[in-house]
Amino acid sequence: MAQFQKKIQRLGVFSSGGDAPGMNAAIRSIVRTAISHQIEVTAIIGGYPGMLEKNFQPLNLRSMANIIQRGGTVLKTGRSMEFHKPEYRKIAAENLKSAQIDAVVCIGGDGSFRGAHALWLEHQIPITGVPGTIDNDIFGTDNTIGFDTAVNTALQAIDKIRDTAASHDRLFIVEVMGRNSGLIASHVGLAGGAEIIFTPDVPITVDQAIDKIKAGQARGKMSSILITAEGQKPGRAYDLAEQIRKKAGLEAKVCILGHQQRGGSPTAFDRVLASRLGSVAVELLLQGQCDIMVGSQGEQIITVPLETAISKGKSTPRDYLSLANILAN
Ligand code: F6P
- 94, 209: one domain: no
278 C-beta closer than 6 A to ligand 1: no
- Indicate if ligand 1 lies below 6 Å from the C-beta of 212: no
> How many angstroms is it from 76 CA to the middle of ligand 1?
15
Helices 318-327, 183-191: crossing angle, 10 deg rounding: 30
Indicate whether 126 and 83 sit together in one domain: yes
The residues, any chain, with a CB within 8 Å of residue 294's CB and separated by 6 or more, are: 128, 129, 130, 131, 277, 280, 281, 284, 301, 302, 303
To test the pocket of ligand 1, the residue of 187, 262, 316 to mutate (highest count of ligand atoms within 8 Å of its CB) is: 262
| Residue 232 sits in the same domain as residue 289 | no
Q: Is the C-beta atom of 179 inside 6 A of ligand 1?
A: yes
Task: Give the pairing type, strands 103-108 and 56-59.
Answer: unpaired
| Domain identity same for 168 and 302 | no
Atom of ligand 1 nearest to the CA of 262: 4
Decide if 327 is inside a domain: no
For residues 230 and 201, membership in a common domain is answered with: yes
| Nearest atom within ligand 1 for CA of residue 181 | 6
Among candidates 113, 110, 128, which has minimal Cα distance to 13?
128
CATH code of residue 231 = 3.40.50.460
Query: Do 37 and 104 belong to one domain?
Result: yes
Does residue 238 share a domain with residue 113?
no
Residue 13 and residue 141 in one domain? yes
Best of 48, 76, 135 for a ligand 1 pocket test (most atoms within 8 Å of beta carbon): 135
Q: Are residues 203 and 224 in the same domain?
A: yes
In this structure, which amino acid lies at residue 242?
Answer: E
Count of the separate structural domains present in the chain: 2
Q: Measure 126 CA to ligand 1 centroid, in angstroms.
A: 27
> Digits of tens for pLDDT over the chain (329 positions)?
899 998 999 999 999 999 999 999 999 999 999 999 999 999 999 999 999 999 999 999 999 999 999 999 999 999 999 999 999 999 999 999 999 999 999 999 999 999 999 999 999 999 999 999 999 999 999 999 999 999 999 999 999 999 999 999 999 999 999 999 999 999 999 999 999 999 999 999 999 999 999 999 999 999 999 999 998 889 999 999 999 999 999 999 999 999 999 999 999 999 999 999 999 999 999 999 999 999 999 999 999 999 999 999 999 999 999 999 999 98
Give the residue numbers annotated as catalytic, written as ranges. Answer: 135
Query: What pTM was estimated for this model as a whole?
Result: 0.97
